[in-house]
Structures are given as C-alpha cells and as structure tokens.
Structure 1
Amino acid sequence: MRTKYIDLIEQTFDFPQDEFALEDDVLQFHGIDLMALIAKYGTPLKFNYLPQISNNIQRCKGWFSETMNTIRYTGSYNYSYCTKSSHFSFVLDEVLKNDVHLETSSSYDIDIINHLLDKGKITNDPQVICNGYKPDKYIDNIAGLINDNRIKVLPVMDNADELDRLVGKVNRTIDIGIRIASEEDPKFEFYTSRLGMRYRDILPYYLDNIKDNEKVNLKMLHFFINTGIDDNAYYWNELTKSLRVYCELKKVCPSLDSLNIGGGFPIKKSLAFDYDYPYMVKEILLQIQSVCKEYDIPEPNIFTEFGSFTVGESGGAIFKIIAQKQQNDREKWNMIDSSFMTNLPDTWAINQRFVMLPINGWNEKYERVLLGGLTCDSDDYYNSEQHVNAIYLPKFTKDKDLYIGFFNTGAYQETIGGFGGLKHCLIPEPKHILISRDKMGVVQTEVFSEQQNASDYLAILGYQK
C-alpha cells in the first residue's frame, strides 16, 4: 500500500523535476542539500540561488534568437530587467552579467542606476527604460541621468504632460517611448489600465507634440497586459490592437523602430506547471511579422521587461513546523516559526501560490493539514496549494523535526513585505542568505542579512535612539 509522502507526489506530479530531486529522504534544490543549509543557518531562512537568474535570462534570449533565425525576423531582440521585481544589489549584480537593459519605475531607481555607474558595474552599453507615472522628482532624476550622458536613457511617456516637463530640463535631443493604456481583462473591476495613453490618442499626440519637436525622437511604443503573456483570445486581441497602432504610427514617424511588449512570462507556482515558452515566443513574433507585412513596414526591434521571470525562481523560504494544533475533527494546523503575511505577503494579499514541499520526511506517511503563521491575525495562513484547498505533508510528530520550503518566491516578497522594517506583530525578518557557485561549480553561501532582533525593532519604534 502506497501511503508515504513520496508516493503521493509521484502519483500526482512528474517527479523529480529539473530543480527538485530527493536524496536520502532530503529535498535537493538545484543539487543543494537543504537540510545542510538548515543545519548551518537555522530557520526561518530565506535564500536566493543566484545562478538561476542568469539561467532564465539566457534561456529567454535563446528562445527569441532561435525563433528569429527560424522565421527570418529582421528586427533585434532586447532583454530588459524590470527592477521593481527585486532591487537588491545581489540581483542587479547577477543580472548585469548578461548584457541586458534595465527598466525603472520610480525616482529612487535612478539613484540605483547612478550607483551602479559610479561602481563601474554597468557595461556593454545598455539602455535604461524609464516607465511608470512620473512625479516631479522622478522627472528630475531622469533629466539628470540624460544630462550626465553616461548611459542611454529612454523615458516612456505615461501621459501627455510628462514630455513638456522633461524637455524643459534636458540639454540635448532625447529618445522617448509612449505607453499604450491597454484594455484590461473583462474579469477585472476596471476596463482600461491606469497607465499609458488611450489607443486613439497616441497618433494625434505624436502629430501635435512630437513630430515637429527637434528635441525629441519617438523610438518605442510600449504595450503591457496586466494578466501576463498567455495563449488566450484576450492577449492576442490586445497585441494585435497595439500592433496596428504601431504600424499606423510608423507610417508617419520614421524614427519609430521598437515595440516593447512588457513583461508577463509566468514562473512555476506548482509542480504541475506547464507553459510552452518557445511556442509563445514564436506565436508573438509571427503575429508581429504578419501585421507588419500587412502594413508593409519593417519589423520592429522587440523589447521585453521580464521581472518575475528573471528573479522569481531564484528565491525560497524555509520554515520549521514548531507545533500541530488539532482544532476540530477535521482541521489540523501546522504552525510555522514565522509568518506568511509578513514574509510571503502575496500569499495573503492576492492568494498567490508558490511551490511548497517538505524538506524532510518524504518516506513518512502523509496527512492533510493547514499551515498557520505566528501573527494573531486570522488571515495568517496558507492553504491554497495544488491539493484542492488543502496541503498534504508528512505526518507531524513531536520527536522528529519537520521542515517545509516555499520556492520561486524571489520576486516582490521582500519589498512588499517591507524588508528590514516593521512587521505585523513584530515578527522578525528571517536570516537571508545568498547561494552561488564558483567557477568549478562548487556551491558557495554567504549571509546577506541576519534575522532581526528586539534591538532592531526598538530602534525603529523610537525606544532606542
């Protein structure tokens, strides 16, 4: 009778997978012994496996390069990293090894760009694409970066007012883009994105404000779908509408040569994840090629701004099950030594799923449980894994420690959770480590930040000055 946890996983999913395997009853992540990490650093523990960042960038570049060669696409492909997904220095250091562009979304992003330039970490002549709604401070910082003339800068206009505010602060001709306010999925509470300009306003805006402006060259049209790049009628319809705007604009704007299709590549949130990246790349490029042929215009250079895809699959969190509470006849609550609300906030805010697996105990019998965090908030729980609103884990016993891991958490969780700041119920920020490999492939680990302590909180709250 197959009643062990490993039996459940093998019957439910394809296992092992590229990044997950089992060795001596211990989960391996990219060949890394996670129990060895726990023995060295304890829990709760967050980590980033840095080689996965470069791996995903190079995979994506390969898909576009191969498809462009196959279909004889004449434009170029340009990978950009969306910095808001994770601003950490260790992320940017790894990203910049891969000859990519950078996309910013706020004024402080520009301070990070300047720091990287000062340290000589930006090479290979990348471009900074400045997106987002732009208050005065953001405009000032963009203008300063342009005037400094150390790196190519392409601000993307979010509304009609931004161009005049920017042009008055720069000392030379600038390249710009325009963002389309795409229509949202019909299931959304609103119909049109709050970012960008309406489809019908873009051509008149160019003719009235840019065409005869000697200080401005329109180079890029920016298109982004909030729900991501998916093989459904909604995505293809919005892409086609944006392409037609691009083609109409290109007829009257010779300098326009680039189409930015934004971000939106998904990452693995379950062992059942199945997404055909090469197929989607090919279909996108074929659709662009087809519409351009219809309008008899050159195929545009393609830009993407992948954030979660770049960094998400590098991150993880490990917790210890510290107790089990039997709350009624059916509900067993496994309590972790941290909090979901504070340290994996997307699980609470948008019911996000992550890959969740036990680190040990795979050869034990399994049971259905709920996972609870340490805050006093009733919403501090996790029960939305693949197993129909329940989680199955090896049976908990008081005489054997049980550890669980959440994987592919590397995008947004630290910034949304307020890294290094106050947490709900003063639950501390876990220790955070970085995992890399040397030139020989040997695993290297280092502590990026220690777990918060009482003194940290007392200082933040004003009790210690």
Structure 2
Amino acid sequence: MNIKYIDLIDQTYYFPQEEFKLKGDSQTLTFHDIDLMELVEQYGAPLKFTYLPKISENIQKAKGWFANAFKKHNYKGNYHYCYCTKSSHFEHILQEALKNDIHIETSSAFDINIIENLKAKGKIKNDAYVICNGFKREQYINNIARLINNGHENCIPIIDNYEEIDLLSEEINDDFKIGIRIASEEEPKFEFYTSRLGIGYRNIVPFYNEQIKDNEKVELKMLHFFINTGIRDTAYYWNELLKCLKVYIRLKKICPTLDSLNIGGGFPTKNSLAFEYDYQYMIDEIINQINIACQEAEVPVPDIFTEFGSFTVGESGGAIYEVLYQKQQNDREKWNMINSSFITTLPDTWAINKRFIMLAINRWNDEYERVLLGGLTCDSDDYYNSEQHMNAIYLPKYKKDKPLYIGFFNTGAYQETIGGYGGLQHCLIPQPKLVLVDKDENGNLTTRLYREQQRSEELLQILGYNE
C-alpha cells in the first residue's frame, strides 16, 4: 500500500521539481539545494528565511522573456524592469535586486528616503527611473520634489488625481516629467466598478488638454496601466489592455513627448506544486497587441515599463514551523498546532485566503494523515486549511516522540510589511528569527542570522512598560 507521505506527493504532483528535492536516504526536503533540516538544526524553529539568488534569477528570466518577444515581433521600443518596493522594503532585498540594472517603483513618502539612502551608497544611479505611484499628499510631494530638485531627472511622478500637477509644480524648481495612471475598470466580481487609483479612460485626453498641453513646466512621458488581478490570460485583461492602447494612441497623436507605456500589475508566483503559467506566451501576446495597435494607428511603439513586486521577491521566501501538539477536537478534525501564528507571520493566509506551497520538511517516509493547521493565538481565524490550500492538507502522522517540521514557500512578498515586522504582533506572539541564504563567489550556499526572534523586552518597550 502507498501510505507514506512521499507516496502521496509523488502520486499527486510531478516530483521532484526544479526547486524542491529530497535529500538522500534521510528523505528530508531541500529548497534550491538548501538543506532545510540543517537550517532548523542550526537556527531552530520557527524561522523565516530569504534565498537572495532567487531574486536575481527571476529578474533575469523576465528580461529574457521580453528580449525574446521584442525580437520575435521586431519591436522597436526599449524595456525597463522596475521593482515595486512595497513588496519588501528590506535593504538586503533591494541590494540584490539592484545588481540587475533595474529601476524602482515607489508607493509612498518614506520610499523616497530609501531611494536617497541607496543613492548615497552608490546603489542607485542618477539615470535610473524612479516611478512614483500612489495618492500624493504633502510629505510624499515634498520628498519627490527634493529628489528631482537634487538632480534625479528620471524621477517620474504618476499623476493619480487632478490636483497633483499643481502640488508638484509648487515644490519642483525646474521642468519635470510625469505619467498618468489610468483608473481601470475592475472585474465584475469586485464590489466597486472602477479603481480608486488614477484617472478614468474618458477623462485622460481632456485632462491632458486642460492641465498639461500648454504647461511649459510639465512633460508627459508615460501612461500607466495597472490591473489589480495581475497579468492573466483572460478576456477581462485583454479587453482592458486594448482600451488602454486606444487611450495611448489618442494621446500620442497630440502629445509628442509621450513615449512610454507602463503595464503595471504583476506576474503570478508559484502557489502550488501543480502551478502552471506560460510567462513567455503572455509577454509575446502583450507585445504583439501593442505592436499591432500602434502600426495600425501609424504611431511609434512605446518603451515598455513593468512593475514586478511579488514576482521579483515572492519566490525567495520561506517559513518553517514545528508541529507542537495535535488536538483531536471531534471524530473528524485533527488540529496540528504550530509553534507560531499564521495571523502574525503569514497574514495573507487569513486576510485574503492567499495560497502558498506547504510541505513537510522531514519524515517523508512516514504514514500520512489529514489535518488542519492552527496557530498559537486565541483568535479563531488563526488557521490554515483547504480554503487557502489547493486541497485537503495531509502531513506525516503526528507522533509525540518524533518532531515534525513543516515549510511554507514563496512567502517573500508582503508578509513582513503587512504583518508589521519588528512591531507588535497579535496576542504578542513574537516575530520569528530571519535567516538570509546567499551564495559566495564559489557558488557555495552561505547563511547568516539577520535578526533574532523578538524578545519580550522589545514588545514591552513599544507598549510603554519599559520607559
């Protein structure tokens, strides 16, 4: 009988996969050749880790796909890869991403302080594009203006509402470039019809004529197109893209300085061992559609900008927990309790039912059982089950005398910032330690502890008990 955990995975998915393999006779899991049990033995659990080389790998993959599409369709524009800092603001993430000659997209005021810090260290050059998205008020406006006034001419604020040009003009000394964000129409499943961000399709050309056309201080360079659900092969996506191209063509015919199209809204990341997505096909088709539309309208094709956040950093991250105890709540439900909390460490699992790859780290040769996973907080929402997972959750059978470790993978985007990394956590469950995994000049894996698990003194300090 095939009753072992390894049999279940082998029957359900193609396994091993590019990033997941088993180590020798021990039958323990490796991730990008990282021996995860060795990581646990060295640092303990719970822990989070970041595999930095995966960031550069994904950036280079995307650049290659766009280069292939440009060549295939004889596309005359240029391609610019931007990283969305909001996906992960950590310095080690930006340092790795910036090794790949990329550009930056910001979302709020403090992002500009990060840009200035990296510029002072020589990590960001003056000719790098800084695309400033988001709703802008005083501090964000002031920070953008300071960056431009200090000589960063390729800082491009993306206009989100009708007041922003005037606000920027008051603070920026010389001429400056801008983009306009399209307020795309959302999918029918949303409770709202139009995105709260940007300016509506039908209002963009009148807005240009009224506020930009005769404004000698402002140069319109970019049209920004963002789809909340990301780049997917759906009738909805292609319809919105074609509407965007119609606006671009209309604008280009009356605005010679417009030369760039930003197709924001990212690529998906792998959330299951059964994940399938043809990245090259999607890019080919996007470039083909832009090429055809511009040729038919007899306007030059735009330079292409993309803003990939989750795709850049998501697949670099992982979290490892130990199963502490099993609670048999009734005749059907077995609750495996982890030594941390989903609410605090993987907030997307309960907030938006985000799916991550979940696998046992050890004991692959043991029999399996169906379980639910519960966190340590007293909150009823602190769980991970088949709603978030692709299907029912199976793990090696719980045994009190045989520790069981489980891993969640491709968790590198948003979890730390949404979870309030370094601050208060729900029920004061401490933030796990964070380990950085890299490669040295010889290609050997290296690890270093970035930060220890939170201590009670840190939380009491925030709460005012240790003044």
User: Normalised by the shorter chain, which TM-score bucket?
Assistant: over 0.9
CA contact (8 A) 1:259 1:303 kept: yes
CA-atom RMSD, angstroms? 1.0
Q: Where does the alignment leave 5 or more consecutive residues of structure 1 unmatched?
A: none
Q: What residue in structure 1 maps to residue 331 of structure 2?
A: 329
Q: What residue in structure 2 maps to residue 12 of structure 1?
A: 12
How many angstroms apart in 2 are the aligned matches of 1:124 and 1:34? Answer: 40
Which one-letter code corresponds to 2:178 in the other structure? I
TM-score, scaled relative to structure 1: 0.99
The CA deviation at 1:289 is 0.8
Is structure 2 residue 168 aligned with structure 1 residue 166? yes
How many angstroms apart in 2 are the aligned matches of 1:406 and 1:141? Answer: 37
CA contact (8 A) 2:374 2:383 kept: yes
How many angstroms apart in 2 are the aligned matches of 1:3 and 1:431? Answer: 35
Select which of 394, 398, 418 maps to 1:416: 418
Taking structure 1 as reference, are residues 323 and 3 closer, same or farther at Cα in structure 2, changes over 3 Å only? same
CA contact (8 A) 1:174 1:215 kept: yes
Q: What residue in structure 2 maps to residue 104 of structure 1?
A: 106
1:189-268 paired onto structure 2 within 5 Å: 189-268=191-270
How many angstroms apart in 2 are the aligned matches of 1:3 and 1:441? Answer: 38
Which one-letter code corresponds to 1:438 in the other structure? D
Deviation digits for residues 54-84 of structure 1 (CA, Å, limit 9, x no counterpart): 0000000000001101110011111000000
Segment of structure 1 superposing worse, 364-373 or 115-124: 115-124
Q: What residue in structure 2 maps to residue 313 of structure 1?
A: 315
Deviation digits for residues 147-202 of structure 1 (CA, Å, limit 9, x no counterpart): 00046200100011000110111111111100000000011010000000010110
Q: What residue in structure 1 maps to residue 124 of structure 2?
A: 122
The CA deviation at 1:124 is 7.6
TM-score, scaled relative to structure 2: 0.98
CA contact (8 A) 2:377 2:427 kept: yes
Q: What residue in structure 2 maps to residue 26 of structure 1?
A: 28
CA contact (8 A) 1:128 1:151 kept: no
How many angstroms apart in 1 are the aligned matches of 2:214 and 2:17? Answer: 56
The CA deviation at 1:385 is 6.6
Q: Secondary structure at the match of 1:440?
A: coil
> Equivalent pairs: percent with the same residue?
66
Q: Where does the alignment leave 5 or more consecutive residues of structure 2 unmatched?
A: none
1:305-454 paired onto structure 2 within 5 Å: 305-384=307-386, 389-454=391-456
The CA deviation at 1:262 is 0.4
How many residues are aligned here?
465
How many angstroms apart in 2 are the aligned matches of 1:254 and 1:213? Answer: 14
How many angstroms apart in 1 are the aligned matches of 2:227 and 2:36? Answer: 37
Taking structure 1 as reference, are residues 154 and 403 closer, same or farther at Cα in structure 2, changes over 3 Å only? same
Q: Secondary structure at the match of 2:295?
A: helix
Deviation digits for residues 23-74 of structure 1 (CA, Å, limit 9, x no counterpart): 1311000001000000000010001000000000000000000110111001
The CA deviation at 1:390 is 2.2
Select which of 251, 272, 277 maps to 2:279: 277
Taking structure 1 as reference, are residues 302 and 364 closer, same or farther at Cα in structure 2, changes over 3 Å only? same
How many angstroms apart in 1 are the aligned matches of 2:180 and 2:388? Answer: 40
Deviation digits for residues 217-252 of structure 1 (CA, Å, limit 9, x no counterpart): 100000000011100100000000000000000000
Q: What residue in structure 1 maps to residue 177 of structure 2?
A: 175
Q: Secondary structure at the match of 1:168?
A: helix
- List structure 1 runs of 4+ shifted beyond 2 angstroms: 384-390
